[in-house]
Amino acid sequence: MIGERADFRSLAGEIAGEIILPGDAGYEAGRRVWNGMIDKRPLGIVRCSGSGDVLAAIAFARAYGIVVAVRGGSHNIAGNATCDDGLVIDLSPMKSIDVDQTRRRVRVDGGVVWGELDAATQRFGLATNGGLMPSTGIAGFTLGGGLGHLMRSYGLACDSLVSAEVVTADGRKLMASAEQNDDLYWAIRGGGGNFGVVTSFEFRLHEVGPIMLGGRLGYPLADGPEVLRFYREFIAGAPDQLIVYAGFSTSPEGEPRLGMRAVFNGPIAEGESLLKPLRQFGTPVQDDIKPRTYVDIQKIVEPMFPPGRLNYWKANFVDILSDELIDLLVAAYGRVPSRYSNIAVEPMGGVVARVPDTDTAFHHRAPAYSLLILGGWLGANESEANIAWVRELWDATRPLSSSAVYVNYLGAEGDARVKDAYGPNHARLSEIKRKYDPDNFFRLNQNVEPA
């Protein structure tokens, strides 16, 4: 094997960060990602301290013909942040965050996770649309688009990306922005890790919080059909500042529930009045909507998705939350084989939908919802039943949803699904890939092949 000839200890002498090899302390943690289904063994892991280390790692991998995986927050369900028999370029030690309060901008290293960025920007009463989990990496999240609590107010994470520093496959360090390498700038706003290693991101910031109205509503599963029909009308008429996610999960007591999570990005009193009809509809068994800090709101989801569990997800965008689809979801969650599995109905709209769908590589801006079926379980002996539940439900929803999918929710599902993720933007991505990575050096991702 080519990689076996590579002298990884020589790479250690060229980098300021650390190299971890099989047998070293830290190898087990370093090869693992959030999804416990992924069990890969890289030849080495370069824990980068800066863009110089990234350049050295790329040069080394090229010299020895070794495949690379790029790691940010390691949350990706497909597990492309690690690999078998390759080199992991791990950006997670790169943690610089520099807030410019006056210009409302922040420059962030590629290893930062959302909890760190939210905490840093909220010190100035600012934020940009980030992930629902503090432990999700800003890098993979933004490069795929980035759906979150503030997206209806300010667009996707990639819509607030002003510039980025990208290390390319041929060892150049480029700036990507509207002024410099604008094709690359277009491509990294949704096109994932296909074009190079993004070592830093500059985001536009917005005034947010620090106190906002947010929290959850919970209903018995049996109330699901009626409550979701009301929700559908409610969210269709909601202003941009209000987002209400819906979904199915199992309560700590083991009860299957329909749940909602509401966040209002505006004055508390206005949020209270807007949310009143939703909170008064039906008979919720849980209502913890109250004023909270934005940072706390961003932590609500975290306990539901600890790292290391076995996970299998499938998703699609949905144009209409039809009665048939609602009934199907409720019935399917009634048969869920694992209490750790969920279904998420994520409302899009607002500013997301007002950005033209060819302005960024992220294309699917018109759908009303993203539907995500999240299978999660503990033991390998449960895998078959849980994967079957996810697949059967996804198959049943297909006639009722669009074929389009959010790239960051894809597992290892093949080329056709990558095309589903990019729609008509795929051809342009493929041209830009040819310009910046003609050999498809960066291929452990939702891969767009060079034209």
Ligand X SMILES: Cc1cc2nc3c(=O)[nH]c(=O)nc-3n(C[C@H](O)[C@H](O)[C@H](O)COP(=O)(O)OP(=O)(O)OC[C@H]3O[C@@H](n4cnc5c(N)ncnc54)[C@H](O)[C@@H]3O)c2cc1C
Output 315 or 393, the one with its CB closest to ligand X.
Answer: 315
Find the farthest-apart pair of alpha carbons in the chain and give their distance in angstroms, rounded.
67
Give the shortest CB-319-to-ligand X separation in angstroms. Answer: 19
**Phi, psi (rounded to 5 degrees) for 291:** -65, 130
Give the shortest CB-295-to-ligand X separation in angstroms. Answer: 15
Dist CA 198 CA 188 (whole Å): 9
Output 75 or 206, the one with its CB closest to ligand X.
Answer: 75
Output 66 or 330, the one with its CB closest to ligand X.
Answer: 66
Give the shortest CB-140-to-ligand X separation in angstroms. Answer: 2
Residue 46 · residue 27 · CB < 8 Å = no
Give the shortest CB-272-to-ligand X separation in angstroms. Answer: 25
Dist CA 350 CA 427 (whole Å): 27
Q: Which two three-digit tokens encode residue 219?
A: 């209903």
| Stretch (H or E) spanning 305 | none
Output 34 or 389, the one with its CB closest to ligand X.
Answer: 34
Q: Which two three-digit tokens encode residue 151?
A: 């997206």
Please state the separation of Cα 319 from the chain's center in Å. 21
Output 73 or 247, the one with its CB closest to ligand X.
Answer: 73
Dist CA 59 CA 91 (whole Å): 16
Residue 381 burial class via C-beta count within 10 angstroms: exposed 0-12, middle 13-18, buried 19 and up = exposed
Output 6 or 352, the one with its CB closest to ligand X.
Answer: 352
Dist CA 236 CA 231 (whole Å): 8
Give the shortest CB-291-to-ligand X separation in angstroms. Answer: 22
**CA torsion angle for 89, 95, 99, 103 (degrees, to 10)?**
-10
- Closest Cα partner for 370 from 417, 314, 425? 314
Output 117 or 332, the one with its CB closest to ligand X.
Answer: 117
Give the shortest CB-116-to-ligand X separation in angstroms. Answer: 12
Residue 232 · residue 241 · CB < 8 Å = no
Contacts with ligand X, residue ranges (CB under 6 A): 33-34, 70-77, 80-81, 91, 110, 131-133, 136-137, 139-141, 143-144, 146-148, 192-193, 197-198, 305, 408, 445
Give the shortest CB-101-to-ligand X separation in angstroms. Answer: 25
The helix, strand and coil proportions of the chain, stated in percent and rounded to the nearest 5, come to 35, 25, 40
Output 133 or 393, the one with its CB closest to ligand X.
Answer: 133
Give the shortest CB-56-to-ligand X separation in angstroms. Answer: 16
Which amino acid is it at 81? A
Output 57 or 330, the one with its CB closest to ligand X.
Answer: 57
Dist CA 120 CA 137 (whole Å): 15
Give the shortest CB-130-to-ligand X separation in angstroms. Answer: 8
Contacts of residue 290, defined as CB under 8 A and 6 or more positions apart, other chains included, come to 213, 214, 215
